[in-house]
Structure 1
Amino acid sequence: MKLFSPLALLTLCSLVAAPVLATEQAPELTGCAAKRQAISTQIEQAKAHGNSEQQAGLEKALSEVTANCTDASLKKERENKVLDAKHEVSRRQADLDKAMKKGDSEKINKRKDKLAESRKELQQALDELDK
């Protein structure tokens, strides 16, 4: 006596595999679509926590993004952020060099920390540029 007929087994396998295949095929959003999705997710979280003020602010932000965001403007904004971060790294490097010439170890350590922070911000800006 057979426990499962081939048709029942095939149906069961396709039911189990369908959600897995659907998740694998979902493309990752980029640009303005990703920004809208992120805000929508935050709105849902604000609703779930009963934070109506945050929800209202996020809904306003979502309508602004929907009305004004273009992928070209978003890319330009991100490019400007990268440029600003590069300038900040250069400025911090110059500050560190100046402190090193004076030989003040306390200032050197502070300048190194600030430079590391600026480099981290630059890397984050570069990462956002790729989204």
Structure 2
Amino acid sequence: MTFTVKNTLALVLLSTASFATLAQTPLKGCAAKEANIQQQLDYAKAHNNSGRIAGLEKALSEVRANCTDASLQAQREDNVREKEQKVEERQQDLKEAQASGRSDKIEKRERKLQEALSELTEAKAALQR
């Protein structure tokens, strides 16, 4: 098969498009965690924050040495279960406050329930990262 300039150009464009698509694929699991820490580290270095740099370098080292996607997923699943339990507790607290009829307690318990629901939503979103 003879490659013409037109065929070669088309091949180069297709390859470039493939690499661009790969570069846009969001990172997941430990790779995402490592990239996040690296981004924070770069920012800390740019701003000469030596205390933050030391902590982030340690965190990056630990992620590289110990993180596996399976362990990270298990951690995140545990976190979701904890948040679900917290929501259940807050729902029960709200029922008790409603039974007491005190509006100040009801408002406080509703606010706490909303916070717990928000934390649960964040924990579930982390499962996808």
**Equivalent residue, structure 2, for 1:108:** 106
**Equivalent residue, structure 1, for 2:50:** 52
Partner Cα distance (2:20, 2:55) in 1: 31
Higher Rg: 1
- TM (normalized to structure 2)? 0.84
Give the Å deviation of 1:21: 6.8
**Equivalent residue, structure 1, for 2:71:** 73
Give the Å deviation of 1:89: 0.2
> Counterpart amino acid of 2:40?
Q
**Equivalent residue, structure 1, for 2:84:** 86
Question: Which deviates more from structure 2 when the two are superposed, residues 57-66 or residues 24-33?
Answer: 24-33
Tell me which of 11, 22, 39 is aligned to 1:25. Answer: 22
- TM (normalized to structure 1)? 0.83
Task: Report how many aligned residue pairs link the two structures.
Answer: 117
**Deviation readout 1:69-95 (Å, 9 max, x if unpaired):** 000000000000000000000000000
Identity %: 48
**Equivalent residue, structure 1, for 2:125:** 127
Give the Å deviation of 1:125: 0.2
Partner Cα distance (2:110, 2:49) in 1: 40
Give the Å deviation of 1:120: 0.3
Q: CA RMSD in A?
A: 1.7
Q: Which runs of 5+ in 1 are unaligned?
A: 1-6
> Counterpart amino acid of 1:116?
Q
Give the Å deviation of 1:52: 1.1
**Equivalent residue, structure 1, for 2:39:** 41
Partner Cα distance (2:42, 2:55) in 1: 13
